[in-house]
Chains A and B, each alone.
Chain A
Amino acid sequence: MNARLADRLATVMFWMGAAAVLAILALLLGYILWHGIRVIDWRFLTTPPQTIAAGGGVGPQIFNSFYLLLLTMFITAPLGLLAGIYLAEYAGKGRITEYIRLSIETLTSLPSIVVGLFGLLIFVNMTGWGYSLMSGALALAVINLPLMVRISEESIRSVPCELREASLALGATRWETMWRVILPSAFPGLVTGAIIAAGRVFGEAAALLYTAGMSSPILNFSDLNPWSPTSPLNPFRPAETLAVHIWKINSEALIPDVRRVADGSAAVLILVVLLFNICARWLGRRIYRRLTAM
């Protein structure tokens, strides 16, 4: 086979590989949305699930997913940002930095079920909270933290050095420089990264099975006192998220319309993830424009 022919064949192979990946994505999205969109209506999005009869919705599950995400981000965003600042700004080339980086790598590659086991042991059993939103949020925080640290370190590092030098030359301390100069210009990257991380967390399920639990108590959405046991805002109640719900009804549900609920839930989950993705891009670009006045 001469070289030119091989080159042609190889080119065909590369195009087919790329086409295959696009086809897989199209098949997945098409399949989920085609089956799911028909199920989604206002009733499905707001009513609680049924235990044995058909016709239930996923209202509490959607609420739980977002609430859990919010709690998780409240925990990880400040911690991740601070640790990212340390690594980008203060960390030298010492042994301590090495340990920190190794820990981040370890946390990143931990299977989420192992994080779930850790959460079961510490947040559920040792604290005595039982299956609760708080345990789930802390477990998700463990998964999210390394990602947030990396995102903030990278966006801080990508700020041009001249900005930092100019600020330091004017007599600002490093912390002032960080807070007033570098973080504002790293902001678009931080926001984009945080939203993408949020999308990941939103779909996480394995770590939640034995931390946030697989059931939701009956919620009274007019009760906004966070200490009342039926209040949706109570962080120490068990909570089943949308992703966990999909898994649970497929493995042990008694309702006759499993297929319908699962289709609808999967579509909602995908739509939210897509929405997060689009938001991240749009917001990042918008903030960037505003900051650079272009």
Chain B
Amino acid sequence: MHKEFSPDPDGKKSAGSKKIYRAPDKRNIQGRKRCGEFLGRSAAFLAAALVVALTVSIIYFIGSKGLATFTVHGVRVTEFLFSTQWWPDRPLEEGGPAVGSLTFILGSLLVSLLAVAVSAPLSVIVAVFMVEIAPVWGQRALQPAIEILAGIPSVVYGYVGLSLLVPFIRNYLGGEGFSVLAGFIVLSIMILPTIISVSTDSLRALPPQWKEAALALGSTRWQTIRLVLVPAARSGLITAVVLGLARAFGEALAVQMVIGNTRTIPHSLLEPTITLTSAITMDMGYTIMGSLWNSALWSMGLILLLMSFLFIMVIRVVVRGGMVR
């Protein structure tokens, strides 16, 4: 009797008669588990490492192409950054070629700063409204509205700007319609959802006791918001605005469609100008790889890349310095 239930060393004797329970080989399962764990962990790590590799290669390739203007074609950095002489196709006899891109840089800075100046106050107002003031139905209406605004593709913003805003400006305010004004209005609407959602998050993260304490001291709601909540959420709000600025600075097609793309420094909001992104968009397909004109466009891409680094650094410094203690 006992024999049948004891493990059979060579497994021949009772093979046909009765099924025998075999304890699973523990070492083997442990081994397989460890192997699975190792494989899974490595795959996850490789995917994360790929993100780093991708970033490094983007920096390397854009950097090396962008620097060719200075290393291969011998343009001085100061000339590229601070000159407005843009004659990339003018022959040597007529004083060319020159690739001063100050006009483009100024155009980009101008429209994105104006866009933020319009968008940031409105966004903070809406964020405070959503967190502190709105009744439940107000939040239910605004949250999806902001998500939809964020989801609308930038070409659609550009197209509405082109078919609604540009004729409006032309008919009622004067000028060609294609203008700095149209550019920054389109951008300011595009960056609204970015600023609103980050500001809302930072206002929601504040400890409720602060508000309660302020109200208990007899402050009105406005005083609480202005003197306690907004200052306390300062670092989050600045982060939101910088993110909005970054988005406005890098936006290409929507701006290109409404800004007019003339290589002149504008003297009023109703005049057209050009930005770095729209110059790249328009000319990249028509220039020959490796020519001076082409290299100058890559250098503009490099400027965009460096600007986005600058924005990340600003956010990091602000967040680190403004932690709620």
Q: Write the residues of chain A forming the contact surface with B, with a CB cutoff of 8 angstroms.
A: 3-4, 6-7, 9-11, 13-15, 17-18, 20-22, 24-25, 28-29, 31-32, 78-83, 85-87, 89-91, 99-100, 102-107, 109-115, 117-118, 120-122, 125, 142, 145-146, 149, 173-176, 178-179, 196, 199-200, 202-206, 209-210, 214, 243-244, 246-247, 250-251, 259, 262-263, 266, 269-270, 273-274, 276-277
Contact = CB atoms under 8 A, between A and B. Distances in A.
Contact of A266 (B144, B156, B246, B256): B156
B269 interface: no
Interface in B188-208: 189, 192, 196
A118 B222 contact: no
Interface residues of B, number: 88
A146 B312 CA distance: 15
B176 to A, nearest CB: 16
A203 B155 contact: yes
Contacts of A145: 51, 54
B305 interface: yes
B145 A21 contact: yes
A246 to B, nearest CB: 5
Nearest to A281: B144
Given A18-B134, A109-B312, 20 more contacts: A4-B220, A6-B223, A21-B122, A21-B126, A25-B148, A28-B149, A28-B152, A28-B160, A82-B43, A83-B44, A110-B308, A111-B277, A113-B281, A125-B289, A176-B37, A204-B153, A206-B253, A210-B284, A243-B155, A266-B159
B61 A106 contact: no
Given A111-B249, A113-B301, A122-B61, A18 B155 contact: no
B159 A262 contact: yes
A79 B47 contact: yes
12 contacts: A6-B222, A6-B223, A10-B222, A17-B129, A83-B50, A100-B52, A106-B55, A106-B309, A109-B311, A125-B289, A149-B48, A273-B151
A205 B253 contact: yes
Contacts of A15: 129, 133
Contacts of B49: 100
B149 A25 contact: yes
Nearest to A24: B189
B148 A277 contact: yes
A75 to B, nearest CB: 11
Given A14-B125, A21-B192, A89 B51 contact: no
B62 interface: yes
Interface of B: 33-34, 36-37, 39-41, 43-52, 54-58, 61-62, 65, 122, 125-126, 128-130, 133-134, 138, 141-142, 144-149, 151-160, 162-164, 189, 192, 196, 219-223, 225-226, 243, 246, 249-253, 256-257, 277, 280-281, 284-285, 289, 298, 301, 304-305, 308-309, 311-312
Nearest to B218: A3
Contact of B298 (A111, A117, A209): A117
B164 A31 contact: yes
A65 to B, nearest CB: 10
A276 B277 contact: no
A112 B55 CA distance: 14
A206 B52 contact: no
A35 to B, nearest CB: 8
B36 A18 contact: no
Contacts of B129: 14-15, 17-18
A105 B142 contact: no
A146 B51 contact: yes
B138 A18 contact: yes
B151 A206 contact: no
**Which of B58, B126, B192 has the largest count of A CB atoms less than 10 A from its CB?**
B58
A250 B253 CA distance: 11
Contact of B154 (A149, A174, A203): A203
Contacts of A79: 47, 50
B308 A109 contact: yes
A45 B308 CA distance: 38
Given A28-B160, A106-B308, A121 B122 contact: no
Contacts of A14: 125, 128-129, 133
Contacts of B37: 173-176
Nearest to A105: B312
Nearest to A18: B129
B187 to A, nearest CB: 13
Given A10-B225, A113-B280, A149-B51, A118 B62 contact: yes
A22 B284 contact: no
A21 B39 CA distance: 49
A89 B44 CA distance: 10
Contacts of B50: 79, 83
B55 A103 contact: yes
